[in-house]
């Protein structure tokens, strides 16, 4: 099998895997498990495929993979509006990951700062959080702690930078979707009400997808060397 054929075959496999994981994302009721007060939350398993591509494919193939995933997922499982939201998140997320993949600690640092800002903002708005708000505050605090830890471990070369890149991409994905929602719904208040929550949740999900992808890349390297 020549290089071109291998590239086409790998692209097809990654596209199929992204669609399957995207369907699994929709099947896992994360929002319901959190009480339904944070609608639209997903595990982001499909993003592990794009994160894999960022490290093992050229940027043109990454863009094509992202566009193919967004369009096919929208037509198969969603709608035109879903395509718009996924496209805005996907474009910004991929751009950030491609920019920081050589210095991934920048993604972790930016995520930690944004999580800290979101946490401070929420505490200013509600200095004594209770119930659902308390859960949100705890989640964002955990996301900040995780992002800061990933930055430290990546900055001092204790771990690889895949998780840090994933953090930056996950938060950027949520920012892109919120910006599109503001434009479509004419609701700029989403930037101060919903975005801080999604920044923290995005950081937590980014850690998860980064750890999964890092283990996959490590396994593939072991298989390649064996």
**Where do the domains of the chain lie?**
3-225
Q: Is the pLDDT of residue 226 over 50?
A: no
CA distance 40 to 62: 25
CA distance 74 to 55: 25
Task: Tell me what the pLDDT averaged over the chain comes to.
Answer: 82
Question: What is the structure's pLDDT at 221?
Answer: 66
| First and final C-alpha spacing in the chain | 21
57-74 CB burial, b ≥16 within 10 A, e <16: beeeebbebbebbbebbb
Q: Which two tokens stand for residue 146?
A: 């995780």
CA distance 170 to 147: 12
Q: Which two tokens stand for residue 100?
A: 């920081």
Question: What is the structure's pLDDT at 40?
Answer: 61
Task: Tell which residue, 170, 168, 150, 169, has the closest CA to residue 160.
Answer: 150
Question: What is the structure's pLDDT at 17?
Answer: 87
Taking CB atoms within 8 Å and a gap of at least 24, the contacts of 29-38 are: 34/135, 35/132, 35/135, 37/132, 37/135, 37/136, 38/136, 38/197, 38/201
CA distance 199 to 181: 15
Question: Could you tell me which residues come within 8 angstroms of residue 216 by beta carbon, excluding any fewer than 6 positions away?
Answer: 48, 52
For 15-58, write each residue's pLDDT tens digit.
988 888 888 877 766 665 555 556 666 777 788 888 888 988 88
Q: Is the pLDDT of residue 76 over 70?
A: yes
Q: Is the pLDDT of residue 197 over 90?
A: no
67 pLDDT band, cuts 50/70/90, is very high
Mean pLDDT of 187-204: 81
Question: What is the structure's pLDDT at 225?
Answer: 45
């Amino acid at each position: 099998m020549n290089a071109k054929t291998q590239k086409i075959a790998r692209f097809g496999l990654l596209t199929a895997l992204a669609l399957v994981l995207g369907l699994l994302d929709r099947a896992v009721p994360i929002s319901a498990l959190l009480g339904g007060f944070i609608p639209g939350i997903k595990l982001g398993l499909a993003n592990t495929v794009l994160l894999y591509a960022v490290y093992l494919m050229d940027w043109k193939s990454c863009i094509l993979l992202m566009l193919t995933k967004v369009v096919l997922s929208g037509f198969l499982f969603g709608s035109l509006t879903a395509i718009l939201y996924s496209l805005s998140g996907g474009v910004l997320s991929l751009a950030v990951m491609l920019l920081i993949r050589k210095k991934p600690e920048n993604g972790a640092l930016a995520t930690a700062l944004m999580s800290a800002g979101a946490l401070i903002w929420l505490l200013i708005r509600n200095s004594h959080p209770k119930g659902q708000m308390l859960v949100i505050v705890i989640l964002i605090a955990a996301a900040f702690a995780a992002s800061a830890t990933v930055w430290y471990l990546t900055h001092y070369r204790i771990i690889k930078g895949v998780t840090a890149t994933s953090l930056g991409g996950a938060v950027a994905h949520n920012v892109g979707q919120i910006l599109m929602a503001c434009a479509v719904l004419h609701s700029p208040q989403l930037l101060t009400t919903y975005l801080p929550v999604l920044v923290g949740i995005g950081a937590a999900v980014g850690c998860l997808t980064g750890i999964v992808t890092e283990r996959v890349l490590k396994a593939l390297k072991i298989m390649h060397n064996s």
